[in-house]
Every structure is written in structure tokens, then in C-alpha cells.
Structure 1
Amino acid sequence: MDNVINLLPDNIANQIAAGEVIQRPASVIKELVENSIDAGATDIVIEIKQAGKTLIQVIDNGKGMAPMDARMAFERHATSKIKSADDLFALTTMGFRGEALASIAAVAQIVLQTRPHDAEMGTRVEIEGSKVIESSSVVCAPGANFAIKNLFFNIPARRKFLKADDTEFKHIITEVQRVATVHPEVQFTLVHNDQLVFKLRETSLKQRIIDLFGKRLVDILLSVDTATPLVNITGFVGRASASRKRGALQHFFVNGRYMRHTYFHRSVMNAYEGMIPPGDQPEYFIFLEVDPSSIDVNIHPTKTEIKFEAEGDISKILYSSVREVLMKGAAVPSINFEEDNPIDIPTFVPVDIRDMAEPPIISSRISSGGATSSVTASVAGADYTLDTLGELPQEFQLPDMSDWDEFYRNFEANRTSVERSSSAGAPRTITVGSSTLISSSLTPEVEEIPSSLNEIPELVIFGGYAFVSGEKDLRIIHLRRARAKIIYEEYMEAIGQESIISNRLLFPQLIDLGIKEAKLLEAHQTSLQSLGFDISEMGKNSYAINAIPYGMPAGNEADLLLEILEECNAMDKSSEEVVYHRLVSALTAYRMKHEDGYYTHTAVAQMISKINKSVGNLLAPGGKVIVSVMTPKELAKRFGE
């Protein structure tokens, strides 16, 4: 039998290793920047082109490398970080395996220029696909200068699967943010396509977080500082009132290394229990310092999953630390009775009711079609007109409140006839326990869900659902999903007709964005304008929200924009139709979140009418069913028949 097992050449082995270590341009930047940190750099410049696909250049002022080290650095498992197996369990550096540079060299073209601070000349090494093309002496600045060109040039299949530039650039910013956050003593500069993205100077930890993620964090971060023999916990957690449904900033670091840890995250969430609404996420930047021998970093190629020896005990300490900080942050502020300028508390002055201004007189003008109404209010000599939209019965008339006595007599006279009419088909209210059922018993005219109130055979509203009976089945309508469907289609129709309506703010809402959010806003500015946003730039990552889409709740403009930008962050390059679908779905979800969910009998009837006229399938924007049909046979099964 012939031998079939062969030893792979080094270049093939390096390409296989690169598949684990180097997944995209952001992976290259992470490895190079971590090497710069290990080399003691205090100033790191990152320059990229086409989101790192054609050029990644990392320049640092670290210790630099001698000629032999510059060559050896690209060999597999060549490292200055460890010398024995015991060193693996007491790591104090970011890198240690000696795989990163060899993996990068296997899939890219590299030019390295490096010089130690005490040397007069530096070294230039050029490598292509793991092969050394040139090695020579060169005049260069102390430190290291890595230029990575044409990533995956020799693996077309891998290069083909890289995402759009915007997506890859988002991943790059994320990786740089993680390293820059935990090293505020290091200056970072990021340049993309010859445009300065940011320049971070040496600063404090809190200021570095604010510089990276936005000034909105200034007033919501609470300091955490707990020292124990097992672990030291420092950092910041967000106030409970600042929790978010999505897009919350959540970062764990251990011994200067970013990590993901489900167990510790659960401990933090438990600390917020009872303080934030269900489904909300708090923001936190938590830094753990432990004995390096008590953790295992070498369990995942990206080194983001770390095993702790005393995981359970650390989790309990973390919970207690965060909970204590939150309780203190939620405490009622004390009053300083020695204040030089006491609070001015107004004194109650009795007012004769006869001296009070007369209440506003409200008159109405109802159009003959009954579709719209214009209400005019006169207050203190000024006239205000409010056009209210909605389908109103033609016979509907607003009472003349100027003649209260006549109105009251008419009310008493009409009350008896109204009560009689309720037995002849008008809606009646039935109370069961703490729930109210609003029912209407009318004769059915069509088999489909009726399109108006007068056509509904049996309508019962209960627990967020509407029950409509037909001759052959029972239709159950999920009211919130139906409402979401209507809102979604109204927005999409307005966008399609380029007739979107904006609510212009009386006073623009100022917002400071993080670096990533500012880039997202810049990339999606046109789409946001089509939705009804009007946003102007005020300075470095500072913006003014001048208008928001029609129907959005007032007072939460900044929160709304952050929600939409988070949806933009979750999108890869998609067709215009998909982009608008996802953004309008996010708008709809935000609007629904701020509605109380209470629907009157008339509102439900109008909702059913609109649902019958809706385009496409009866699914909510998220793809969930709006209407469920139950036959008499299915009902009989529930009763064991």
C-alpha cells in the first residue's frame, strides 16, 4: 500500500493558520496594534485604504527590532513573549503564539521597516506569500512600520468573501476602539483613504471612553472600584435610567485584554434587576485585574474567550460591586441646609376664582364629508387652529361649551334614547374581572374580516386581541401587530411617493456621537433624510437634530437617532428596498414602543378596515402573523369534543 500522508509545505500550513487568525482586515489591525502595545509604543498610527483591502499600515514608536529579529518575526511560532510551557499560564503580553505575522505574510504582501532606538540604521524586509523577496539596511525612524498590501491576493476565494468597504471599516473601528479603550496612555491616530478619522491623545480612562463613544456618556457613567485578594474591578457602569433596547455599549477587559464572557454579563444584568425595563440592556466598561496564572487565554484563536479559575467567586464579587454602585447612584440627593443661596420656594397666594381668566372657547367646523375636522381655540385674544385627521361620522358635532345649561339639558334629554339604542345594536361594554370586553352584535354581510364598524358581526376586544366571528370561523387579530403593519405601510407609501412628512423641532436637539455612530450617520445621510430626519453637523462628531419623522414621540429625538443608527450598523450593503424596509421597521418598532396599546372599539374597527386594504400578506414588519383563524372544529377540540 502506498503512503498517502504528506507533510504540508510551510506556505500551505501558514495559509491554513491564517484562516483561523486572519479573517478580515480588522484581524490584521488587531494583531499589529497588539504587537505595538507589547513593544511599549506610546504613539500608534493606523493608515488604511479601501477598508484595509489594499493597504494596512501600522506605525509605532516601540522598541523596534534588530535585523535578525526582523527576519525571524515572520517564521511560524517565532515569538519573544514566551520561552517555556509555564509561560503560557502567566501571560502578561497581548501576543504569545508567534502565529500572527506568519499568518499575515502567508496571505498578503508585506514591507517592514524597523529600527531599535539605540541603532543608527534600520532593517527593511519585503515578503510576499511567505517568501522573503528582499532584506536590506535602511534609514528609518525608531520603532516599527508595517505595510500590509493586497490582503488575500493569493487566495481569491477568501478575498471574494470580504464584505463591502463600509462593513469592513465598521469592524476595523470596533477593533481599534477595543484596544484604545484599555490603553488611554497610548496616542492613537486612524486615517482612512487619506481622511483623518480620529486622533486620540493620552488621557484618563473615562475621557478616553467619552472620546471614543460620545459625550452622551458624560452624565450616565458611574464609577466602579472594588479591590479584593481575588480580583480588582474598576471601570464604569451606566445609570439604570440610561438603559437601551439595543445598541448598548458593553465591554469586558481582563488584564488589559478585551473579552466576551456570558457568565459575567449575566452577573451584571442581575445587578440591574428591578431597575431597568425587561428587555433593556445597560451600558458598561468593566476592567478586571487577576493573577495571570488564574486564567487561560489560549482557548480560542482570537483570544476573546477566556477561562477563569475562580469564575463563580469573581461573578459574585462583580454582582455585588455593580449593585452597590447602582444603589448609590439611585439614592435621593441630600439637601444642603448650609447652602448660601437657599432654594426659592414660591409662596401660595389665594386667588379669587372670579378674577381667573375665562376658559378657552372651543368651536368646531366639520366638513360635509365628515373626514376631517378643524378645531379653533381662542385663548387670551389669540386664535389657534388644529387640523385633526381621522374618519369622523358625519352626524358628529362638537358641543357649544359657551352655553353650558342648554348643553346639559340636551344631554339629559338624549341620554334615555342613547341607552335604548344600545340594545338595538350599538356597542355594549361587559366587565369580566379586571378586563373589559367591548362587544357589538350586528348581522354579518361578508365572509372576510369586515371593513367598517357597521359590518362587524361580532367584535370583542380582550387582552390586546380582537375577536371577530364569521359564519364559518373565528378571526383573532393581534392588535399591536396590526397597528405596526399600518404604521409601516404608511411610512413606506410616503417614501415611495416622496411625500414623507417631518416634525420640525422648535428647538434643535443636540447630540454627540461616538466615532462609529458619526461614520454611520455620514454613510446613511441620504436614507435618513428620506425617512424625514433633518440633521446638521455642528462640529467634531456633534450634530443638531432639526426634524424627525412624522408620528415619532417628542422628547426622545437623540434616543430615536441612536436606535436607527444601530439598525444601520447591523446592515451590510443591501439594495435600496431592503435598506428602507429595515429602517422603516426600526422606526415602526420605536413608535410602537411608546404607544400605550389601548385601542377603542372605533379605533379597532378602523384598524381592521385598513388591514383589509393593506398590500401583500397579513404579516407584521417583523414577519409575525397578524390574523389567526380558528374553526368550530378546533374550538371543539379544546373542549375535548
Structure 2
Amino acid sequence: MSDIIQLLPDAVANQIAAGEVVQRPSSAVKELMENAIDAGADRIQLIVRNAGKSLIQVIDNGHGMSITDARLCFERHATSKIRKAEDLFAIRTMGFRGEAMASIAAIAHVELKTRRPEDELGTVIQIEGSRVVDQSPEAVPVGTCIAVKNLFYNVPARRNFLKSNAVEMRHIIDEFQRMALAHPDLFFSLHNEGNELFHLVPGALKQRIIHLFGNNYNQKLVPVEEETTILTVNGFVGKPEFAKKTRGEQFFFVNKRFVKDPYLHHAIMNAYEDILPADTYPLYVLFIEIDPSKIDINVHPTKTEIKYEDERAIYAILRSAVKRSLGRYNIAPSLDFDQETSFGNFITPKPLDEIQVPTITFNPNFNPFDTDEVSSGSPGVSRAGQYSSTLERKADIPKNWDTLYQITEQEQVEQLHLTPKGNEEDQFGEFAESRKQFFQIHNRYIVSQIHSGFILIDQQAAHERILFEQYVDQLDRHKGTSQQSLFPVTVDLNAADFALMSELLPDLQTLGFQLRPFGKTTYIIDGIPADLGNNVNETAVIEKLLEDVKNNKSELKISKRENLAKSLARSAALKAGTALGNDEMAEIIDKLFACQSPNTSIHGKPTLVTFTLQELLEKFNKL
């Protein structure tokens, strides 16, 4: 029997390694930008086309490479960062494994242009699928320019698994933002399809955060700074009131390397205990400087996970540093980006001579045993009469209890049968609703009499169900109603949300939104769905829609359109505490029972509860 174990060809081995290192276009962006930073560049440009599928180009002004290094950098396990095993525990560079360039060259068409400052001519190398097609000297600028074209051209299965351009572009923006945050002292720019999305000049970390996420982040940041013998922590955390329901603005950097660490994230959340709204995540950009010998970064192919020598100590230091900063600094925003909040921002207390001593007034003629005299001292008016007149003055409050008394006093009530849509045999088909006799309980629930008792309807849940099915129908028929805004409103988004908005734009326009792009990351709102009403904050509605889409994108059972319909229904629905007239309650009940699923809210909870006369008799022990 012949031998069956053979060595893999280098091209095949590199393609296998590429499956771990280069998972999507953003992975290649990460590796190329890390190499540019390690090369000592202070100016890095990223150019992307077709969400990185057609072109990923990184241009830097770093040290460049010699002819030999330019050829050798595409060999597997070729690196300038380490020489012996001990170097693995003293690494402060981004790349060191020597697999990135070989992996990228195995699955794409790569063109490398590089020149060192001391060389008169540079080197140009073209590689296709690990095979060198051409190498020649050429006059090129100092530094390195790498163009990766037709990513996954020879691995069609991997290319077919890539998401839409909007999704892949969001991943690229995420990687770009991480690099830019880790190195605020460097210049970064990002061009997509010929448009410049980011132009980040060197500056302080606070400036970099504001340039990446928007000017409104200036008032959201609280500085964190702590120095111990174990590590140093510095950066910014967000104020609790600006926390979001979605992740995505949480950044940990260990020795300027972005890492994902649930354990350290738990330390931050613990610091926000009792001051953070439920199910929300705060913004934080935190840098941890620690001795490289105390950590191990060689535990994951993408180098986003790290092992620590003393995790508990790091947890305690991080938690206490964030907690102290939240309680130490003022919450007033600063106009100067470089100026931190300080004691000078506190409100100046009033002088002592302006403080008024509280006084107490009382009625000396008040007699609690005199039933004919009211507390205000007005003679001739009984307490019951005053109470009745007070109720009459509140004309805007429906007299629901009067309606209840009328129901109990009437012997016969004019009734109208309501049958749910599509199922005449449903249990509600036998219910006889009274169109004229509805009333509210605490402006939250609608009570309606039926043959066998009464039903209790959650008005907000019912209205959400009505609007949800209405919006789904509009999306299916591509027809929605819109109302023009008197004055157009602009909404400024970060780059990731702007890319998401571009993906959702056709469906939003179908729902009734009139939106148009304006500038790099801004949209103008000319109109909104008619169901949202007049007194609505258009910017808040758009931001809430984007947050809901990001929050539910991991739920595979929910489609993008259903997600939008649910979010818009929650925004447009009547809220608990809204007083309704009799006609409005009748309309809600009619539309609810015309829905396909009247019994269930969009959250999977009941919209109504039925109480029978049998149950009432049992409650009063009359059986």
C-alpha cells in the first residue's frame, strides 16, 4: 500500500491560512493598515471600491522596503518583528506572525509598490494567487502602496458568502475606526467609490472621537485616567443618559491593539451599576498600557483576544477607575475639544442674602368637624358640592365612571357584532360589542361589554398591532402615505449608520419617509409617514429606527422589512396614559379585530383579556 500523507503545495496551504486570517474584506483592511502603522507611517490612506470586493488600496509614507524584502514579505511566516520565541512576550507591534500578506496574495490579485528613502528607484511586484506575475523597478514615492483587487476570485464559495455591499462596508468602517482611535496622532483618510468619508488630522483622542462619531459626542464624554504599578488606564467613557440599546461604541485597546474582552466589558458595566438604564450599553474608548510580558496576544488568528497574567487585578482597577471618573467629573459639556471638564464648569452658588427662608401658612378658622365648610373657608359650599364642581371643571377628562353607571342602569344596550378577519368561528365572533359604551381605566386600558362579560384591551399594544400590519401591507404593495414637513430637518449620522441608512432607504421611502442624502454623512428629512402625526421629532424617529435595526439584526427570524415595520409601529402608536374619546376607542377596537392576529401584540404578548360573567360571579362568591 502506497503512502497517503503528502505535503500540501504552498498555494493551497496559503489558501487554507487565508480562511482564518482573511474572513472578509475588512480583514484585509485590518492587516494592511497594521503593516502601514508598523512601518512608521504618519499618513495612511485607505481607498475602497465595491465594498472591498473589487479594490482595497492602502497608501502610506512609511519606511518602505528593499527589493529583497518586497519579494520576501509574501512568503509564509516571513516577518521582521520577531527573531526568537522569547520575542513573542515583548511584542509592541501590530503584526508579527508573517501570515497576512501570504494569505491575501493567495486569494487576490495584489500589486505592491514600495521605496525606501535612501533608494532612487522603488520596486513594483504583481502577484496572482500566490504566483509572482511581474517584478520591476519603478519610480514611486517613498513608502508603500498595496492594491488588493478581486478578493476571493479563486475561492468562489467564500465570495458567495459575503454579505451586501452596505454590510461589508460597515465592517470596513468599523476596522478603520478602530485603527484611527488607537492612533489619534496619525493622519487617516477613507475613500469609498471616489467619495471621501473620513479626513482625520492628527490631534488629541477627544478630537478623534468627535471627528469619527459626530460633534454631539463632545457633551457625552467623561475622561478616565488611572496609573498603577500593574497597568495604566486612560481614555473616555460616555455619560449614562447617552447609553444606547445596541453595541458598537465600545472600544478596548491593550497596548494600542484593539481587543474584544467580555470579562473587561463586565467590569465597565459593573462600574455603571444603578446609574445605567436597563438593557443599554455605554460608550467607552479605553486604553490599557501593560507590560507585554504580562499578556499573551498570540492566542487568536485575528489577534483580537488576549490572555492576562492577573485578570482579577485588571478587572478591579478598571472598574474602580471608571466608577471614580463618573462620580468625579462634572456633566456640563465643554466647548473646547482639548479642555476637560473641571471645577470651573460648576454652577456658581447663590449668595446667602438671596436665599429665602421657607414659610408656613395655615387657616386658623379651619374646623375638620364642620361638614358644611370647605377647607378654603368659603361659606355655604359643601365638600361634596365642591368635589362635583371640580370634576365638572375638568372637561378634558372623559367621564368614564359616569359611562359605567349608565351601562349598569340601562336594561338594554344597542350592540354591534364584530367578527375578526378571516375566521368567523373564532371566539370573538360571538361577542357583541357596544359601539357607544366604551370607557378607559387609567387612560391605559379600554373596557368593552360583550355578551358573555367584557374584554380589557391594552390600547398601546392594540395600536402597535394595527400599525404593524398596516406598515407590512404598505411595504408589500410599495405604497405608503407621507406628510410633507413644513421645514426640512437634517440628521447627522456616523459613517456606519449612514451606510446602514443607504441600505434601508428604499423601504423607508415606501413607508412614507422622504429622505435625501446631503453631504458625506447627512440626510435631509422632507417628509415623514402620516401616521406619526405633527408633534414628532423626526431626528429621534430616524435614530430609533436605526438602533432597532442594529439591535435585532442578529435575530434570523426577523426580516429587515418586518424589523422596520415593528420599529415604526412602536414610534407611531398611542402611548399609555393617552386619553381617548368614545369614537377613538371604537375605531381602535374595529381595526384591531380586522387584523390577522388581533390577540397578540408585536412583542408576542396579549393585546386583550376576556372576563366572563361566570368569573365575576365566582369573584363575588355568588355561585
After TM superposition, the score normalised by the length of structure 1 is 0.74
Displacement of 1:335: 3.6
SS in 2 for 1:153: coil
Aligned counterparts, 1:99-248, within 5 A: 99-246=99-246
* Partners of 2:13 and 2:612 in 1: CA distance: 63
Contact preservation (8 Å) 1:456, 1:468: no
Going from structure 1 to structure 2, the CA distance change for 1:308 and 1:137 (only over 3 Å counts) comes to same
Contact preservation (8 Å) 1:249, 1:283: yes
SS in 1 for 2:428: coil
Contact preservation (8 Å) 1:243, 1:282: yes
Residue of structure 1 in register with 2:375 after alignment:
none
Displacement of 1:512: 3.0
* Partners of 2:134 and 2:15 in 1: CA distance: 21
Structure 2, unaligned runs of 5 or more: 333-344, 357-388, 394-398, 420-425, 614-623
* Partners of 2:524 and 2:433 in 1: CA distance: 44
1:325 paired to 2:306: no
* Partners of 1:526 and 1:126 in 2: CA distance: 41
Displacement of 1:97: 0.6
Residue of structure 1 in register with 2:485 after alignment:
504
SS in 2 for 1:218: helix
SS in 1 for 2:276: coil
* Partners of 1:190 and 1:335 in 2: CA distance: 42
Aligned counterparts, 1:38-49, within 5 A: 38-49=38-49
- What amino acid maps onto 1:33 in structure 2? M
Displacement of 1:20: 0.6
Going from structure 1 to structure 2, the CA distance change for 1:456 and 1:86 (only over 3 Å counts) comes to farther
Residue of structure 1 in register with 2:618 after alignment:
none
Residue of structure 1 in register with 2:546 after alignment:
565
* Partners of 1:198 and 1:4 in 2: CA distance: 53
Displacement of 1:481: 3.9
The percent of aligned pairs where both chains have the same amino acid is: 38
Going from structure 1 to structure 2, the CA distance change for 1:552 and 1:11 (only over 3 Å counts) comes to farther
- What amino acid maps onto 2:58 in structure 1? V
Please report the RMSD computed on the Cα atoms of aligned residues, expressed in angstroms: 4.3
Displacement of 1:484: 1.8
* Partners of 1:235 and 1:207 in 2: CA distance: 12
The number of residues matched between the two structures is 548
- What amino acid maps onto 1:235 in structure 2? G
Contact preservation (8 Å) 1:619, 1:626: yes
Contact preservation (8 Å) 2:460, 2:575: no
User: Deviations along 1:47-88, whole A, 9 cap, x unmatched?
Assistant: 222111122111111111111111111111111111122221
Residue of structure 1 in register with 2:427 after alignment:
448
Contact preservation (8 Å) 1:247, 1:566: no
- What amino acid maps onto 1:583 in structure 2? L
1:289 paired to 2:289: yes
User: Deviations along 1:115-153, whole A, 9 cap, x unmatched?
Assistant: 111111212222211122222222211111111121111
Aligned counterparts, 1:524-543, within 5 A: 524-535=504-515, 539=519, 541-543=521-523
> Which of 495, 503, 506 in structure 2 is aligned with 1:515?
495
* Partners of 2:324 and 2:113 in 1: CA distance: 51
Residue of structure 2 in register with 1:581 after alignment:
562
Residue of structure 2 in register with 1:431 after alignment:
none
User: Deviations along 1:140-196, whole A, 9 cap, x unmatched?
Assistant: 111111111211111121122222222221211111111111111111122222232
- What amino acid maps onto 1:180 in structure 2? A
Residue of structure 2 in register with 1:336 after alignment:
348
1:551 paired to 2:561: no
Deviates more, 1:39-48 or 1:263-272: 263-272
Aligned counterparts, 1:213-612, within 5 A: 213-246=213-246, 249-329=249-329, 334-336=346-348, 421-424=406-409, 448-449=427-428, 453-454=433-434, 480-493=460-473, 496=477, 498-502=479-483, 504=485, 509-535=489-515, 539=519, 541-545=521-525, 547-549=527-529, 550-551=531-532, 554=535, 556-567=537-548, 579-591=560-572, 595-596=575-576, 607-612=588-593
User: Deviations along 1:585-607, whole A, 9 cap, x unmatched?
Assistant: 22223446x93367889677754
* Partners of 2:496 and 2:452 in 1: CA distance: 55
SS in 1 for 2:563: helix
* Partners of 2:410 and 2:314 in 1: CA distance: 66
Going from structure 1 to structure 2, the CA distance change for 1:302 and 1:462 (only over 3 Å counts) comes to farther
- What amino acid maps onto 2:56 in structure 1? I
SS in 1 for 2:117: coil
After TM superposition, the score normalised by the length of structure 2 is 0.76
* Partners of 2:128 and 2:550 in 1: CA distance: 34
Contact preservation (8 Å) 1:109, 1:128: yes
Contact preservation (8 Å) 1:24, 1:162: yes
* Partners of 1:500 and 1:615 in 2: CA distance: 21
* Partners of 1:475 and 1:312 in 2: CA distance: 55
- What amino acid maps onto 1:448 in structure 2? Q
* Partners of 1:335 and 1:417 in 2: CA distance: 51
* Partners of 1:198 and 1:416 in 2: CA distance: 61
User: Deviations along 1:340-364, whole A, 9 cap, x unmatched?
Assistant: xx99x9xxxxxxxxxxxxxxxxxxx
* Partners of 1:211 and 1:331 in 2: CA distance: 21
Contact preservation (8 Å) 2:479, 2:511: no
* Partners of 1:598 and 1:338 in 2: CA distance: 40
* Partners of 2:23 and 2:151 in 1: CA distance: 10
Displacement of 1:280: 2.1
Displacement of 1:538: 5.9
Deviates more, 1:217-226 or 1:488-497: 488-497
Displacement of 1:515: 2.2
* Partners of 2:90 and 2:80 in 1: CA distance: 14
* Partners of 1:311 and 1:471 in 2: CA distance: 66
User: Deviations along 1:179-221, whole A, 9 cap, x unmatched?
Assistant: 1111111111222222322222212211111111111211111
SS in 2 for 1:233: strand
Contact preservation (8 Å) 1:452, 1:609: no
- What amino acid maps onto 1:118 in structure 2? E
* Partners of 2:346 and 2:535 in 1: CA distance: 31
Going from structure 1 to structure 2, the CA distance change for 1:11 and 1:477 (only over 3 Å counts) comes to farther
Going from structure 1 to structure 2, the CA distance change for 1:216 and 1:337 (only over 3 Å counts) comes to closer
Residue of structure 1 in register with 2:381 after alignment:
none
SS in 2 for 1:145: strand
Aligned counterparts, 1:610-629, within 5 A: 610-615=591-596, 619-621=600-602
SS in 2 for 1:88: helix
* Partners of 1:266 and 1:452 in 2: CA distance: 54
Going from structure 1 to structure 2, the CA distance change for 1:486 and 1:566 (only over 3 Å counts) comes to same
- What amino acid maps onto 2:406 in structure 1? S
SS in 1 for 2:79: coil
Displacement of 1:93: 0.6
User: Deviations along 1:3-42, whole A, 9 cap, x unmatched?
Assistant: 2222211111111110011111111111000000011111
SS in 2 for 1:449: helix
Displacement of 1:546: 5.0
Contact preservation (8 Å) 2:441, 2:447: yes
- What amino acid maps onto 2:593 in structure 1? N
Going from structure 1 to structure 2, the CA distance change for 1:49 and 1:497 (only over 3 Å counts) comes to closer
- What amino acid maps onto 1:181 in structure 2? L
Deviates more, 1:30-39 or 1:225-234: 225-234
Displacement of 1:537: 5.6
Displacement of 1:103: 0.5
* Partners of 1:137 and 1:530 in 2: CA distance: 55
- What amino acid maps onto 2:434 in structure 1? N
1:75 paired to 2:55: no
SS in 2 for 1:141: coil
